[in-house]
Every structure is written in C-alpha cells, then in structure tokens.
Chain A
C-alpha cells in the first residue's frame, strides 16, 4: 500500500450516477445468489425437508387416506409443492433479521438508492430458492410415478403461480424479521403461523371429510385456494376464479406488507 497508489485511486474515483430502481434491486438479487454460491449447503433445508414430506405422506398415509399410494400422490403432489415453497418463505424473514445484525446494512441505508431495493432484491434472490424447492418436488413426484395431466406447460404455470404467491407472502415474514429480536425468534414465530395454516388446508386431505366449522375454515384458507389452483393447472382443469383469488390475495399481502417492511427497514435504529 503506497501513497502513490492511494493518491491515484482517489484521483481516478468515478462520479456516482443514480442507479435505477430496477438495477439496484437486481444487484441486491445478485448478492443473494452469491451467498447461495458460497454456501450451497443452505439449499439443503430447502430441498431435503420437502423430499421427506413427500415420501412420508405418500407411503405412510397414502393407503389410509386415499386407498392407494399412487392415487394419493396425484392428490398430494401439487399440495406439497405449495407447502414446501411456502415454508421456504419463512427463511426470507430469518435472513433479513440476520442481515440487520451486521454493519453492512448501515452502508446500504446510507446509499442514494431506491429505498425498497435491498428488500425487493433479496426477495428476488430468494425466489430462486423457491424455484429450486418447487423443482425438486416435481422431479421427485415424476420419479415416483406422478403424471400431470397438463404436461410440462401445466407444471411450469403452477410453479409460477406458487412463486408469485410466495413472493407476496415473504413480505409478511420480512416484516416479522424487522419486528423481532433474533433470527431464531423469526423462525419460531414464522413456523408457528405457516405450519397450522398449511395443515388446516386441503393440501393433505379432502376437506369434505372434516367437521363443519373446520371445513368452513379450510375452504376460505388462501393456501387451500392456491393448492386447488395448482392442482387445476397441473391437471388442466383450473378454474379462473381460483387464480383470481390467489393473485388478489398476493396483491393484497404485497400492498400491505411491502410498504410496512420498507418503512421499518428505513426507520429501525
């Protein structure tokens, strides 16, 4: 480190230009992907847990619930796809909370960039994880004998719908990530919410077998609607009303929780 080189590097410092909102968000998405590249193990929980769920539910409960494992797999697979991707959204809140304990957030917040860029970018990066989680489930399902009626196109559409919903739901967990003290607290609170919501849906069982009040709840649970829409897309008999409900819920979640997250990120001491 010589004075001359220091002097040169100061003298040649380029002028800043304001990065566009999109470019800033994409740069933060790139940051998220670099972290996966450096620590690929963090994709393990994204992939391993859903694999266990598929195997366990298909072979342990399949016969009891649907009469045969093959029939149950047809019902279960789109639902498990929903579940595994939605479980992954909790990690968005956990990793934001982890970020906040580091000094680098101070630098980000002192940059002249579009305010929500770090958050939108991180969620764009996380969407890659959602894609990985979803793809693993579909590939495993096909290996076990699942044959989607609508073919590859239907699967891609279902995956896209689930990821859009997951992106919207992540804002709830990033809000949680900014309100709670530790990454563990975010993880616990997150799963305390997402776990019952997922099980009290039609992901695993047909709601017609449930007691009345529970059935009523399961019918209106947006996760049920998302599972139904995914089944429809994969089988080729989707009802557009279901898709409208899913996209409407996603828009509502984003409209409420994205500004809330941005506000909390900006004002948190």
Chain B
C-alpha cells in the first residue's frame, strides 16, 4: 500500500513538473487569433466601433473585451463570423440587417464644401471645391463617417438593391416538427 502511494506520488510530481517546464519553454507567444480576426474586419479604420482602428478592435475582440456586434459596416454577417471564430453565443436580433448600405450624395443639396472628402477612409468621394461631389460605389465601405460631416445633410446611406445577379436562394426553413438540428 505504501509502495502504491509512493509510486503515484512520484509519478504525479514528475509529470506535473514536466507540464510546468513545457508551459514555460513551449509557450506560444502572442495570440494568432488576433490576426485572423483582423482579416475578417472591413479594414477601413472608420472608428465606429470606438477603437482607433481595426487592428485595435481585433486585439480587444481577441481578449474578449469587446462585443462581437461592434462593427456596424460588417453588419449581421460579420457578427456571426466573429461569434463563430471566438466561440461565443451572440443575440443577433438587435442588429438590424437591411443589408449593406452605401453612401449617396443628393446632388441638389450638395454645396461642394469638400468636408466629406477629407474624412472618407477609402477616398471614395470624388469632387473639388464648389463642384458637385459623388460617391464611387465600388470604393464605399458604408462606414458613415461622411454623413456626420456633411453640413447640409446631402449625404445619406441607402441600401444596396438586390439584383438578379446577386439574389441568393434562402436556406430552406426547418420543419421543426420532424427535423432536429440547425
């Protein structure tokens, strides 16, 4: 009986010591998940999440300090992806998902002040002083920074209309009466 106690104790100490040594010398530096999260974010550094840039938001997300619903331009799809990557449960009903929105200039109201051009993170607005401004749709990320800057409220966010090319079949509704899983 004594020999059993002794042998188990010795094994415990030895293996525990091995684990401790491994945790010191084989530790993984940094958090690789941060890079993956950063790739998911839009990258326009718009600041709507409250962090200075997407990299800082990624760090906060990796640490678990920020909610996965922090990115308005990413919308519901991004929140779902972040939740999946971080393995957290998230209630997505609060995020209104009318789809992606792009900025649009109401040309009759625009006074050509260039204030919006200065804040656009992707230089998606073309125009010059006293000239009508316009938004290049392919470059707009929908961050909304220009809407706040416009002094005449000529800038609005409009939903991208669904066209034949971009329409997607909806997922079949589950017959919860008989089928089980989602």
Q: Do A and B bind?
A: no
Query: B residues near A, CB below 8 A?
Result: none
